[in-house]
Structure 1
Amino acid sequence: MSTPTPATTPKTTSPSPATSGSALESTQGKTTIADGVVAKIAGLAAREVHGVYGFGSGAARAFGALTERIPGGRSSSTQGVSVEVGERQAAVDLTIVVEYGVGIAELARAIRRNVIGAVEQMTGLDVVEVNVNVVDLHLPSEDDGDDAPAPEPTPARVR
């Protein structure tokens, strides 16, 4: 028996979908995931990281606060999150507000780990980058008082 020479070995010009390495393609069909789905996953995963106070610019946060107060309104889990989704890869951009006292470099690493893990596990997409844009720092004295207890009423003076 002779071994086949390279000239007699069959060659394939492109990988078949079943062997392309993507969990989203098979011989039985193709799965596509909308940008909004990936943005929600990324936003929720980033919110889980301690030290993230909020998302988006000041104007976006103010608009979000108004939306939450309208009956039937709800906060957006994609505020401050933008994504680009391809057939096999995704890139995520986050615009965040950081709690004062938190190390920003370590926070960004933790956000990247959490977002990449969640998006890749839930979607099968390869996350090629997670950009973290810190636009503000939240100081404890800046709380708007919504969570603070109402002040005690001052007793009326008797004359």
Structure 2
Amino acid sequence: MTEQNIQSLQQPTPQGKEALGKIEVAPEVIEVIAGIATNEVEGVSGTRGSFASGVVEKFGKKVHGKGIKTEWTEDGLIVDVYCFVQYGASVAHVAREVQRQIRESIENMTELQTKEVNVHVTGIQFDQATNSKVE
């Protein structure tokens, strides 16, 4: 099976509406929507990004699509999320909530249905202990 490099996703015309032209959504837009939805879930401490996104964030720019991978197959849209969960939070509950939030956000903003939302928990974020001396 050959893999196609799709540059944009064509949206269907809403039911009961006249087609005035085509609407295309870039995969990066889906990644940003999924990234923002992920970071809004309580218990998620962040998403895993690449070295380049880490450097960009050091300079003060927020990278919303960090840790999100999208793939459009013949069966539908597949979203992979790589995130860290806060220590003490239920991993299963946080992962289910991330899935729900991403599906809902993508559907509300683009009317695209997701086939799969795969959550990959890549680590646990512990609270940073403060080093203070008692005198």
TM-score interval for Structure 1 and Structure 2 normalised by the shorter chain? 0.7 to 0.9
Task: Decide whether aligned partners of structure 1 residues 55 and 39 sit closer, same or farther in structure 2, where only a CA change above 3 A counts.
Answer: same
Cα distance in 1 for partners of 2:121, 2:14 equals 33
Question: Which is greater in Rg?
Answer: 1
Cα distance in 2 for partners of 1:46, 1:112 equals 8
Query: Conserved in 1, the CA contact under 8 Å of 2:75 and 2:115?
Result: no
1:77-103 Cα deviation digits (max 9, x unpaired): 111001124699422100001100010
Amino acid corresponding to residue 50 of structure 1 in structure 2? E
1:93 corresponds to which residue?
Answer: 80
1:67 corresponds to which residue?
Answer: 56
Alignment pair present for 1:39 and 2:31: yes
2:43 corresponds to which residue?
Answer: 51
TM-score normalised according to structure 2 size = 0.75
Task: Decide whether aligned partners of structure 1 residues 64 and 28 sit closer, same or farther in structure 2, where only a CA change above 3 A counts.
Answer: closer
Alignment pair present for 1:117 and 2:104: yes
Q: Give the aligned CA root-mean-square deviation in angstroms.
A: 3.2
Cα distance in 2 for partners of 1:130, 1:65 equals 24
Residue 63 of structure 1 deviates from its aligned partner by 5.1
Structure number having the greater strand percentage: 2
Structure 2: tracts of 5 or more residues without a match:
1-11
Alignment pair present for 1:79 and 2:66: yes
Alignment pair present for 1:106 and 2:97: no
Where 2:25 maps in the other structure, the secondary structure is coil
Residue 68 of structure 1 deviates from its aligned partner by 2.7
Alignment pair present for 1:132 and 2:124: no
Structure 1: tracts of 5 or more residues without a match:
1-21, 152-159
Cα distance in 2 for partners of 1:24, 1:91 equals 22
Percent identity between matched residues is 30
Cα distance in 1 for partners of 2:54, 2:30 equals 23
TM-score normalised according to structure 1 size = 0.65
